[in-house]
């Protein structure tokens, strides 16, 4: 394997971005690697070693670098719901354009900046930094989207949250205010306490 391509794959945890290729000889080597099935094309401009064990969540973060795992994906990560989604739920900025591959399955949500930016935290998965909404923002999103996800799931998430020792009700209230669901959140929490 060519040194520059080899180094790019090693430095990027088995991934290669086409923008790092500088010469025609490197493009020929990339094509040989594809033909020999040593690497696969994930989407335009992004490739991965085929022999590599990989985490799908980390791959989604590579495919959508500005994406933030939200809703069912965040609820599962925070152990707020027993529902295991078959697709990854990812929020991006409104009007942002993203090209998705056929696999892994991703459901995109286009949120305006105040809703998109609030509560982003970063975790490490398979040596890849992944953006995900924090615990309180995830709970607020359950209330915010209660009519789409269903009251049963919203109730499950709130009950799970209220049982936790690491809950921060002040932060929850602050987020609810910023997301304009303060009264609705207060009504839900009052009923459950």
Q: Is the per-residue pLDDT at 193 higher than 70?
A: no
Q: What is the structure's pLDDT at 157?
A: 95
**What residues have CB less than 8 Å from 153, skipping those under 6 apart?**
81, 83, 142
Q: What is the structure's pLDDT at 138?
A: 96
pLDDT tens for each residue of 77-96? 999 998 888 899 999 999 88
Judge if 133 and 44 occupy the same domain: no
Q: What is the structure's pLDDT at 54?
A: 67
Listed in sequence order, the DSSP H helices in 68-131 are 71-77, 113-117
Of 102 and 161, which is predicted with more confidence? 161
pLDDT tens for each residue of 16-45? 777 887 788 777 888 888 888 877 787 777
Owning domain of residue 11: 3-53
Specify the range with the lowest mean pLDDT, choosing from 78-92, 97-111, 128-142.
97-111
Q: What is the structure's pLDDT at 42?
A: 78
**What residues have CB less than 8 Å from 12, skipping those under 6 apart?**
none
Judge if 188 and 96 occupy the same domain: yes
User: Two tokens at 152?
Assistant: 């049963």
Rounded CA-CA distance 172/174 in Å is 5
Of 103 and 74, which is predicted with more confidence? 74
Q: Is the per-residue pLDDT at 1 higher than 50?
A: no
Judge if 155 and 74 occupy the same domain: yes
Q: What is the structure's pLDDT at 17?
A: 78
pLDDT tens for each residue of 141-183? 999 999 999 999 999 999 999 999 999 999 999 999 999 999 9
Q: What is the structure's pLDDT at 155?
A: 92
Q: Are 154 and 142 in contact (CB under 8 A)?
A: yes
Count of the separate structural domains present in the chain: 2
Q: What is the mean pLDDT of the segment spanning 34-63?
A: 78
Judge if 100 and 177 occupy the same domain: yes
Judge if 78 and 22 occupy the same domain: no
pTM above 0.85, yes or no: no
Judge if 91 and 151 occupy the same domain: yes
């Amino acid at each position: 394997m060519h040194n520059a391509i080899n180094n790019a794959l090693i430095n990027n945890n088995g991934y290669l971005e086409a923008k790092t290729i500088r010469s025609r000889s490197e493009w020929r080597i990339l094509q040989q690697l594809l033909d020999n099935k040593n690497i696969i094309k994930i989407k335009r401009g992004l490739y991965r070693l085929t022999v590599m064990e990989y985490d799908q969540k980390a791959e989604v973060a590579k495919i959508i670098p500005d994406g933030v795992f939200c809703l069912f994906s965040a609820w599962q990560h925070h152990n707020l719901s027993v529902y295991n989604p078959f697709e990854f739920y990812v929020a991006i900025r409104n009007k942002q354009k993203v090209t998705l591959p056929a696999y892994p399955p991703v459901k995109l949500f286009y949120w305006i900046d105040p809703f998109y930016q609030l509560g982003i935290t970063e975790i490490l998965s398979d040596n890849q930094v992944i953006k995900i909404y924090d615990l309180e923002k995830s709970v607020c999103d359950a209330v915010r989207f209660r009519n789409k996800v269903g009251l049963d799931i919203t109730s499950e998430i709130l009950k799970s949250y209220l049982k936790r020792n690491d809950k921060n009700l002040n932060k929850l209230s602050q987020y609810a205010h910023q997301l304009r669901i303060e009264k609705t959140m207060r009504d839900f929490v009052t009923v459950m306490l």
